[in-house]
Structure 1
Amino acid sequence: MRRLLLPALLVVTLAGCGGAAETAAPTATSPSAAPSAAATAAAPAGPEGGVPGLTGEPTDLTAPTQAGPGTGAPPTELLTEDVVVGEGAAATLADTVQVRYTGTLWSDGSVFDSSWSRGDDPIEFPLDRVVPGFSQGIEGMAPGGRRVIVMPPDLAYGDNPPPGLPAGATLVFVVDLVGIS
Structure 2
Amino acid sequence: MSRRTVPGAILALTLALSACGGNEDAATSSVAEQVAEEIPADLTEVPDVPESDAPAPTELEVQDVVVGDGEKAVEGSSVAVKYVGAFYESGEEFDSSWSRGADETLPVTLGAGQVIEGFDQGITGMQVGGRRVVVIPSELGYGDQDRGPIPAGSTLVFVIDLVEVTG
> TM (normalized to structure 2)?
0.75
Greater per-residue helix proportion: 2
Residue 88 (structure 1) aligns with: 70
Contact 1:43 1:79 in 2 (8 A): no
Aligned-residue offset at 1:56: 7.5
> Whose radius of gyration is greater, 1 or 2?
2
How do 1:1-181 and structure 2 match up within 5 A?
Answer: 45=28, 50-51=31-32, 52-53=34-35, 58-120=40-102, 121-128=104-111, 129-181=114-166
Aligned-residue offset at 1:102: 0.3
The verdict on how the C-alpha distance between 1:55 and 1:45 changes in structure 2, with shifts beyond 3 A counting, is closer
Aligned residue identity for 2:31 = G
Deviations 1:27-49 (A, max 9, x none): xxxxxxxxxxxxxxx99949xx6
CA distance in 2, matches of 1:86, 1:43: 25
Contact 1:54 1:68 in 2 (8 A): no
Contact 2:72 2:125 in 1 (8 A): yes
After alignment, is 144-153 or 119-128 more displaced? 119-128
Unaligned runs of 5+ in 2: 1-24
Unaligned runs of 5+ in 1: 1-41
Other structure's SS at 1:81 match: strand
CA distance in 2, matches of 1:66, 1:118: 16
> TM (normalized to structure 1)?
0.70
Aligned residue identity for 2:125 = G
Contact 1:55 1:66 in 2 (8 A): no
Q: Which has the higher contact order (CA 8 A, sep 6+)?
A: 1
User: Which stretches of structure 1, 4 residues or more, deviate above 6 A after TM superposition?
Assistant: none
Alignment: residue pair count: 138
CA distance in 2, matches of 1:57, 1:106: 14
Aligned-residue offset at 1:88: 2.8
